[in-house]
Amino acid sequence: MKRLLPFLLLLAPIAKADSLMPSLAVVGSYLADNSVLPITQQADMQLARNILLAQSSSTCSYCGPESLALSMDSVLRAISLYAWAGVPISSESLQPIVWLQSRLAINPDATVIVTPSSITFADAPVSTPEPSTVLLLFVLGTACLAGYAIARGFGSLLER
């Protein structure tokens, strides 16, 4: 019995971690309920299985409830990339990004900072007319309007 006790104590954290891990059906229904596109029943179970396998990896030191929530949300974001097509999420061959994302456990401690040191814009052709052209068009337009007004004024004088 004394030899068995240390072995049982080693198994206790494993059993506790497994009991905290949600079931396949819970993760699958979360994905199906929160997706912007319909997901077929087989697809949501496959995605849920991939997420839970990534979370249960022995090399994943950061896996836990927060990582699981981030992983599920990242799969939902990957699904939203296909919203333009309007087709249900059904297979890895039709929506490969979703399946790739489901195989990754998200590290909640990872941070990404993007600070560009400079932004360079390439030379672009000028698409606006030169000021002299705009000025010429303005003068011609004004002259046409003035000529119309003058002609109309003379027309009303001749009718009297």
Q: Is residue 19's pLDDT more than 50?
A: no
Reported as a single tens digit per residue, the pLDDT across 118-136 is: 666 666 665 665 667 778 8
Q: Which of 6-10, 40-44, 73-77 has the lowest mean pLDDT?
A: 6-10
Q: Assess contact for 50 and 102: CB atoms under 8 A.
A: yes
Read off the tokens for 149.
């007004």
Higher-confidence residue of 62 and 9: namely 62
Q: What is the pLDDT of residue 127?
A: 61
Reported as a single tens digit per residue, the pLDDT across 44-89 is: 999 999 999 999 988 889 999 999 999 999 999 999 998 888 888 8
Beta bridge partners, 39, equal 89
Report how far residue 126's alpha carbon sits from residue 130's, in angstroms, rounded to the nearest whole number: 9
Complete DSSP assignment for 15-37: HHHHHHSPPHHHHHHHHHHH-SS
Q: What is the DSSP letter of 3?
A: T
Local structure of 122: helix, strand or coil = coil
Q: What is the pLDDT of residue 120?
A: 66
2-11, 89-98, 109-118, range with greatest mean pLDDT: 89-98
Domain assignments of the chain as residue spans, ordered by start: 18-102, 130-160
Higher-confidence residue of 109 and 20: namely 109
Phi, psi angle pair for 89, to nearest 5°: -75, 120
Q: What is the pLDDT of residue 159?
A: 64
* Nearest 10 degrees: Cα torsion 87, 92, 94, 100: 90
pTM: 0.58
Q: What is the pLDDT of residue 128?
A: 61
